[in-house]
């Protein structure tokens, strides 16, 4: 614990604050996030409304907290499924090798070759908007790159003697993958989880901003920025609060993933979140 | 070298074929089919049969896919569903030019700036310049594009009103009419690009500066600026080519949100409108164009890396 730098503690702190606020939303939110009160529309932040109100009179602070719930649930679920699924596929494919490896990696290459935003939009065109679609779309967009990374990591362990010894012992493929390879790639897996979680939070808020994410009136940070954008000069608090929420969550996730990567000795600077 | 380039090009074409299949398959998975989506509530069995015959939906999937792909390659991209008289190819053409201008400006300013900042941060590691630049990079990475765009719009378009906040020029405007509207979207894209490339360049520079030959040059008495200019920068730039290519390719995706924020008439905004209208041919067309651009940029990056790194040419594929 003493080895963690100040910056790491900032990241962990931000993340903890977000999670606690999202979990405690029903108790700490002063108003319901969808309660419309036309008499209170467009009020600046005050003691009554900590974040001010938007043009329908909904309390912004409560909407930000409830939006945090949605953002965290969707992002962490998608990140977990993408990373665990990608990890299993990557390790399995690396171990099997041969034609299965080639075919699956060609498919993965094809999926990676589509810019993720375009893939997300194509999926949304076909299946409509909504929470389930978003989770599936995020998993489909981010799983291929995880497969690539995990396959490369597993390939470093496969030539080693203990894998060979396990095969000589007569262990089945699934046992080798689960008992021998999987524990060794777990550190890379955690770093990938944190990195992809931060990218998925950005992608979810971007998609909601375009209007293809959660359906209104469910609060979501991207959607709030979109709705309140029209009154930028009159009521800037409408976009500043959700912006601050997104920014602090992603900064927290980035700092935590840096910390984990540093602790495990993994180089994190890999490039764009494609 | 020529043989490797040829193999990479063929690989890219095969990938494009697969990507087209994925995009086509994605829209084929529509519950019901295109005809039901098109007719909506007017979907009587007779009308469904008519529309299906019109759109050739009664032919097998493979044949339809081949027809579509062949038409694409030849140049007949079909007509938009939402506006049935609008042919897709000219519509896409003029929007694509607008977006390419934006991407060109963003890339030509963003790449040198990020390399410069990355080198500075790498050289002065853990000192004040590095800390400042790293914080800027972290903030740039953590804010979504629409947040950065909206903030820029708020500061420069509304509060100080020196730049146009949204684009008023029509889509077929010339570059001369359109360029003031490009400044804010390009700046947004540049900020996000710089944040990512900067990190990559910085870590490469740090790694190179710790290598033995650079330390030898320094210990020999070579002045530090010369060491950096002749040894550190060229070696550090090599792994950055990949990151730069990824970033330029990312522009296709990033441009969608940025164009929507600023109402810029490019293919990003076209895609958003098409998805909103569930205009399948247009979505497919924009998807393919975006993917082709992405694959093309990656191909160039691959070939550039092969050209600069002779050691890679000994590998088989």
- Which of A109-113, A253-257, B51-55 is predicted least confidently? B51-55
Residues of B in contact with A222 (CB under 8 A): 144, 146
Go through B171-209 and write b for each residue having 16 or more CB atoms within 10 A of its CB, e for each that does not: bebeeeebeebbbbbbbbbbbbbbbbbbbbbbbbbbebb
For an interface test with A, the pick among B14, B80, B146 (most A C-beta atoms closer than 10 Å) comes out as B146
Cβ(B282)–Cβ(B88) under 8 Å? yes
Q: What does B159-178 look like in DSSP terms, one character per residue?
A: IS--S-SS--S-TT--HHHH
Of A115, A232, A269, the CB nearest to B253: A115
Euclidean distance between CA atoms B90 and B111, whole angstroms? 31
CA B21, B25, B27, B32: dihedral to nearest 10 degrees? 150
pLDDT in tens, B117-154: 988 888 888 888 888 998 888 888 888 888 888 888 88
Go through A88-115 and write b for each residue having 16 or more CB atoms within 10 A of its CB, e for each that does not: ebbbbbbbeeeeebeebbeebbbbbbbb
- Give, as one character, the DSSP assignment of residue A54: -
pLDDT in tens, B148-183: 888 888 888 777 777 776 766 676 666 677 777 788
- Give, as one character, the DSSP assignment of residue A215: P
Note which residues in 245-264 of chain A have CB less than 8 A from chain B: 246-247, 250-251, 254-255
Least Cα separation, residue A207 to chain B (angstroms): 8
Residues of A in contact with B191 (CB under 8 A): none
Residue A78 contacts B, CB cutoff 8 Å? no
Q: How many CB atoms are closer than 10 A to CB B97?
A: 17
Residue A82 contacts B, CB cutoff 8 Å? no
pTM of the full predicted structure?
0.84
The torsion angles phi and psi of A48, rounded to 5 degrees, stand at -75, -45
pLDDT of residue A273: 43
| Residue B143 token pair | 């804010």
B164 cis-preceded (ω within 30 degrees of 0)? no
Of B30, B141, B150, the CB nearest to A229: B150
Residue B305's pLDDT band, with cuts at 50, 70 and 90, is: confident
Least Cα separation, residue A225 to chain B (angstroms): 8
Task: Answer whether residue A272 shows pLDDT above 50.
Answer: no
pLDDT of residue B56: 64
The verdict on ipTM greater than 0.95 is no
Euclidean distance between CA atoms A162 and A183, whole angstroms? 13
Q: What residue of A is the nearest CA neighbor of B298?
A: A113
Cβ(B176)–Cβ(B215) under 8 Å? no
Euclidean distance between CA atoms A172 and A92, whole angstroms? 12
| Residue B245 token pair | 């290519």
Euclidean distance between CA atoms A26 and A32, whole angstroms? 9
pLDDT in tens, B60-94: 667 777 777 777 666 666 666 666 667 777 778 88
Residues of B in contact with A196 (CB under 8 A): none
Least Cα separation, residue B222 to chain A (angstroms): 30
């Amino acid at each position: 614990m003493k080895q963690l730098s100040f910056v790491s503690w900032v990241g962990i702190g931000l993340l903890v604050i977000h999670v606690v606020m999202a979990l405690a939303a029903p108790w700490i939110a002063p108003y319901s996030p969808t309660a419309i009160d036309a008499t209170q529309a467009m009020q600046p932040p005050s003691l009554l409304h900590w974040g001010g109100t938007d043009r329908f009179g909904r309390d912004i602070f409560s909407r930000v907290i409830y939006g945090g719930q949605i953002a965290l649930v969707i992002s962490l679920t998608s990140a977990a499924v993408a990373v665990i699924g990608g990890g299993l596929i990557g390790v399995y494919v690396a171990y099997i090798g041969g034609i299965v490896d080639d075919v699956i990696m060609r498919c993965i290459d094809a999926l990676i070759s589509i810019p993720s935003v375009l893939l997300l939009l194509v999926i949304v065109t076909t299946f409509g908007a909504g929470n389930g679609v978003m989770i599936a779309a995020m998993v489909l967009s981010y799983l291929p790159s995880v497969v690539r990374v995990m396959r490369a990591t597993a390939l470093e362990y496969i030539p080693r003697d203990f894998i060979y010894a396990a095969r000589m012992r007569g262990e089945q493929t699934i046992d080798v993958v689960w008992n021998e390879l999987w524990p060794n790639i777990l550190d890379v897996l955690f770093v990938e989880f944190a990195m992809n979680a931060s990218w998925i939070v950005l992608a979810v808020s971007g998609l909601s901003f375009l209007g293809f994410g959660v359906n209104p009136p469910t609060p979501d940070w991207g959607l709030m920025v979109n709705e309140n954008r029209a009154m930028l000069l009159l009521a800037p608090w409408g976009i500043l609060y959700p912006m601050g929420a997104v920014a602090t969550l992603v900064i927290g996730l980035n700092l935590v993933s840096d910390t984990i990567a540093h602790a495990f000795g993994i180089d994190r600077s890999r490039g764009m979140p494609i | 070298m020529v043989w490797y380039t040829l193999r990479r090009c063929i690989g890219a074409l095969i990938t494009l074929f697969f990507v087209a299949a994925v995009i086509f398959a994605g829209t084929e998975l529509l519950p019901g089919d295109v005809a039901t989506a098109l007719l909506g509530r007017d979907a009587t069995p007779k009308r469904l049969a008519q529309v299906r015959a019109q759109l050739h939906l009664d032919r097998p999937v493979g044949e339809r896919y081949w027809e579509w792909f062949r038409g694409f390659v030849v140049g007949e991209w079909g007509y938009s569903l939402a506006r049935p008289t609008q042919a897709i190819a000219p519509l896409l053409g003029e929007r694509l030019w607008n977006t390419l201008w934006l991407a060109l400006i963003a890339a030509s300013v963003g790449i040198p700036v990020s390399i410069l900042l990355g080198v500075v941060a790498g050289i002065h590691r853990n000192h004040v310049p590095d800390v400042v630049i790293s914080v800027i990079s972290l903030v740039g990475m953590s804010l979504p594009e629409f947040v950065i765009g909206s903030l820029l719009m708020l500061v420069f378009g509304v509060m100080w009103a020196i730049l146009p906040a949204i684009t008023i020029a029509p889509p077929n405007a010339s570059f001369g009419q359109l360029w003031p509207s490009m400044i804010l979207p390009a700046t947004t894209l540049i900020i996000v690009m710089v944040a990512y490339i900067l990190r990559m360049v910085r870590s490469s520079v740090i790694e190179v500066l710790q290598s033995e030959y650079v330390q030898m040059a320094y210990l020999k008495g070579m002045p530090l600026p010369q060491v950096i200019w002749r040894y550190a920068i060229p070696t550090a730039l090599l792994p950055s080519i990949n990151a730069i290519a990824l970033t330029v390719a990312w522009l296709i995706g990033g441009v969608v949100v940025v164009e929507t924020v600023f109402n810029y008439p490019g293919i990003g905004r076209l895609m958003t409108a098409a998805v909103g209208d569930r205009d399948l041919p247009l979505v497919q067309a924009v998807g393919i164009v975006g993917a082709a651009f992405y694959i093309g940029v990656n191909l160039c990056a691959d070939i550039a890396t092969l050209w600069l790194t002779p050691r890679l040419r000994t590998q088989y594929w």
